[in-house]
Amino acid sequence: MTNNKKVLSWLDEMVKLTKPDEVIWIDGSDAQKEALEKEACATGEIKALNPDKFPGCFLHRTAQNDVARVENKTFICSRRKEDAGPTNNWMDPKETYEKLSKLYDGAMTGKKMYVVPFIMGPAKSPFAKVGIELTDSIYVVLNMLIMTRAGKIALEEIGDDGDFTKCLHASKDLSDEDKYICHFPEDNTIWSINSAYGGNALLGKKCMALRIASYLGKEEGWMAEHMLILGLQDPKGEITYISAAFPSACGKTNLAMLIPPAEYAGYKVFTVGDDIAWLRVGDDGRLWAVNPEAGFFGVAPGTSEKTNPNALHTAMSNTIFTNVGLKDDDTVWWEGLDKDVPEHAIDWKGEEWTPDKFNKEDKLTSCAHPNSRFTAPARQCPCVSDQFDAPQGVPISAMVFGGRRATTAPLVYQTYSWNHGVFVGATMASETTAAARGAVGVLRRDPMAMKPFIGYHVGDYLAHWVKMGKTIPNPPKIFHVNWFRQDENGNFMWPGFGENMRVLEWIVKRCKGEVDARETAIGYLPNVEDINVNGLDIDKATMERLLRVEETWKEEVPGMREFFSTFEGRLPKEVEDELDALEARLNK
Ligand code: GTP
Ligand code: SPV
Ligand code: MN
């Protein structure tokens, strides 16, 4: 398949280590994909869904202990411990290679090794990077074929001498104890063992396109971010591109595919990406973004004809569903899909399920796992952007940060400058979700929604943001949003989903200088009358609450200081100055 000596010698080494019975190159052809689907169906690894209703779709159930990213088992193995920083787990690279080699030794004996060459980014794009994933899982191969541009095309991209990210994955026995997701940024290498779930196993995604890429971006002068990318077209046909960073399961896929409410006839949202953005300064002095992925690995629960019809339609064919419920007619179901709760189904654990099995106190008794997902080709999305494959990407006018916060953070505000925006991103806080193993609903600081994904020291990462600001002659404006404010009764105060269009409209108007705003301690807040609520059942008092500087902001400052105090002296002065400035404004 290739004459690239770097590829061949690495493959040789990994084959000697893992000792598979057979080595199979993935070429990206339909014929090979269909043969693999057949094989995986025969072994029960996947199950074909109802071919009339879900053509080309499959269901896969993972092990019950393997349903989300495992942050405590994820490591940045930089040569120096201090380069991993306080937000990462660290292990010594030499010791880690030794320790994991023992686990990989013979791990593929009795199995086949699949060699998956893939490109992150459009082919022949200045953004594009090639990776090669070695895996023992057909499920992983089939996901990679959707999520990346995989096969011969990637080998053509690296040619006879090009470099690539070396990705080794073995599902082995899924042991929790010996589960490791390790990154060696200085070696452009990823070693993952004993998980076959999403971000732990599809190594092009969080491991390469964020952890390794964020490190490469720092070295090479670009950025890898946990951001969706959308184009908002106005009735005149003008498109404004926006990127937005929200933590896992906080609304990126939904915003990326938003359908404007009836009130907004003539507006349309186009999706460029729903999870990851790679950003570079263009010749015109603006910041340009591509989505390195080719598919969506989207959260199933809550996805419905009402909340996100575009996602639903994307996932009606050629899609892999993971850990959702299976109905008796071989179609899928999850909580929030529709009101027709099945009277009988097979749940995410593979067990018989009836509605009475659901116990509010234990979310894992639901039919679909809370972090169940669909893997769907982006090109099937009804609102995919015509710039999806554009090698140069799209020019970004606004960047948005957002978290899931019941209190304090207003619906939307604009930052005063790039550095103020970096500070607001750096101090973002959000309640944890089911996307990673651990407690759900715990408020934590999650800088730029990148806490689990920065491949190096968080202080250096912020310094890189500050430095990028100086190299972008015409930088995007930076905003913060919060769709998740709750009232005293725990109800969401803002309708969200398609109605978020009303907030996007304000953001675009701010970018174009078409609307005023109030200067407050935290940033520019909208005048209440400037957020269009026509056709919404929301009163003025609620809007005033959503758009004010809450008293609780003063309590934020010590928490931010405490967070920064963990930065081991690597907090950029520009960011610290912004905190001082915020405190001074709040005390005025
Ligand atoms: P990852 O793929 O984990 O990175 O998640 P994501 O950021 O793409 O989140 P996604 O869009 O899949 O949304 C996650 C959950 O948040 C789903 O259950 C959605 O229904 C819910 N959600 C998304 N947008 C909104 C909103 O505007 N308001 C409310 N209340 N919920 C939302
Ligand atoms: C996330 O957790 O942010 C995801 C899903 O997008 S995973 O691929 O598992 O990281
Ligand atoms: Mn994500």
Give, for all 588 residues of the chain, the pLDDT tens digit. 999 999 999 999 999 999 999 999 999 999 999 999 999 999 999 999 999 999 999 999 999 999 999 999 999 999 999 999 999 999 999 999 999 999 999 999 999 999 999 999 999 999 999 999 999 999 999 999 999 999 999 999 999 999 999 999 999 999 999 999 999 999 999 999 999 999 999 999 999 999 999 999 999 999 999 999 999 999 999 999 999 999 999 999 999 999 999 999 999 999 999 999 999 999 999 999 999 999 999 999 999 999 999 999 999 999 999 999 999 999 999 999 999 999 999 999 999 999 999 999 999 999 999 999 999 999 999 999 999 999 999 999 999 999 999 999 999 999 999 999 999 999 999 999 999 999 999 999 999 999 999 999 999 999 999 999 999 999 999 999 999 999 999 999 999 999 999 999 999 999 999 999 999 999 999 999 999 999 999 999 999 999 999 999 999 999 999 999 999 999 999 999 999 999 999 999
Nearest CA owner, ligand 2 atom 4: 248
Which ligand 1 atom is nearest residue 492's CA?
30
111: CA distance to ligand 1 center in Å? 37
Instruction: List, chain by chain if needed, residues with CB within 6 Å of any ligand 1 atom.
Output: 246, 248-254, 274-275, 298-299, 301-302, 307, 435, 483-484, 492, 496-497, 500
pLDDT for the residue numbered 388: 98
pLDDT for the residue numbered 214: 98
How many other C-beta atoms can be found within 10 angstroms of the C-beta atom of residue 34? Answer: 11
Per-residue pLDDT of 82-94, as tens digits, reads 999 999 999 999 9
Phi and psi at residue 402, to the nearest 5°: -160, 150
307: CA distance to ligand 1 center in Å? 9
Using DSSP's 3-state secondary structure scheme, residue 398 falls into strand
pLDDT for the residue numbered 207: 98
Contact between 49 and 57 under an 8 Å Cβ cutoff? The reply is yes
**Per-residue b/e over 339-368, b at no fewer than 16 CB within 10 Å?**
eeebeebbbbbeeebeeeeeeeeeeeebbb
151: CA distance to ligand 1 center in Å? 31
**Torsion angle of alpha carbons 498, 500, 501, 503, nearest 10°?**
170
Mutate-to-test residue for ligand 2 from 207, 297, 432, 440, highest number of ligand atoms within 8 A of CB: 297
**Paired tokens of 357:** 């099995």
pLDDT for the residue numbered 279: 98
Nearest CA owner, ligand 2 atom 1: 248
Rounded Cα distance, 244 and 410, in Å: 16
71: CA distance to ligand 3 center in Å? 13
pLDDT for the residue numbered 154: 98
**Paired tokens of 17:** 């280590």
Q: Which ligand is nearest to the CA of 298?
A: 1
Which ligand 2 atom is nearest residue 373's CA?
5
Which ligand 1 atom is nearest residue 496's CA?
27
Mutate-to-test residue for ligand 2 from 206, 211, 274, highest number of ligand atoms within 8 A of CB: 206
205: CA distance to ligand 2 center in Å? 8
Nearest CA owner, ligand 2 atom 9: 199
Q: Is 381 a catalytic residue?
A: no
Average pLDDT, the chain: 98
Instruction: List, chain by chain if needed, residues with CB within 6 Å of any ligand 2 atom.
Output: 69, 198-199, 205-206, 248, 275, 297, 435
Q: Is 16 exposed, middle or buried (0-12, 13-18, 19+ CB in 10 A)?
A: exposed
Nearest CA owner, ligand 1 atom 22: 251
Q: Which ligand is nearest to the CA of 483?
A: 1
Rounded Cα distance, 76 and 191, in Å: 11
Q: Catalytic residue among 182, 250, 367, 381, which?
A: 250
Per-residue pLDDT of 433-457, as tens digits, reads 999 999 999 999 999 999 999 999 9
Rounded Cα distance, 377 and 295, in Å: 4
pLDDT for the residue numbered 395: 98
Nearest CA owner, ligand 2 atom 10: 199
